[in-house]
Structure 1
């Protein structure tokens, strides 16, 4: 795992998605693609930590119908 840049730097996913689908990472509050199709509430660095803690099969499951 690489060392993440400062929190002020957005997740790379935030740079390629529409502005209305950008939100804070659920763990570190870094800007990330949070809302809409393909969005998850964790930035890539927090997701790597989650994978380490929970296993490689960890994934986001929507709670919306």
Structure 2
């Protein structure tokens, strides 16, 4: 069983470890997350988890940004 997501007022842990200019809002829940630059993702870790479950074992997430 997975841990429930914290309130949306709390940022994604990735937002706490990246520079402020790379922080943006999650496309799903509007939580602050590491969205821009190297390693960025448009979804926070809680919104990304159900998406990745539908991908299956043959698909991997790879950032296309340089």
TM-score bracket relative to the smaller structure: 0.7 to 0.9
Number of aligned residue pairs: give it.
64
Gaps of 5+ in 2: none
Q: What residue number does 1:25 align with?
A: 26
Gaps of 5+ in 1: none
Q: Shift in Å at residue 51 of structure 1? A: 1.2
**How many angstroms apart in 1 are the aligned matches of 2:31 and 2:56?**
23
TM-score, normalising length: structure 2:
0.81
Bigger Rg, which one: 2
Matched, 1:16 2:17: yes
Q: CA RMSD in A?
A: 1.9
TM-score, normalising length: structure 1:
0.83
The correspondence of residues 1-65 of structure 1 with structure 2, limited to 5 A, is 1-56=2-57, 57=59, 59=61, 61-62=63-64
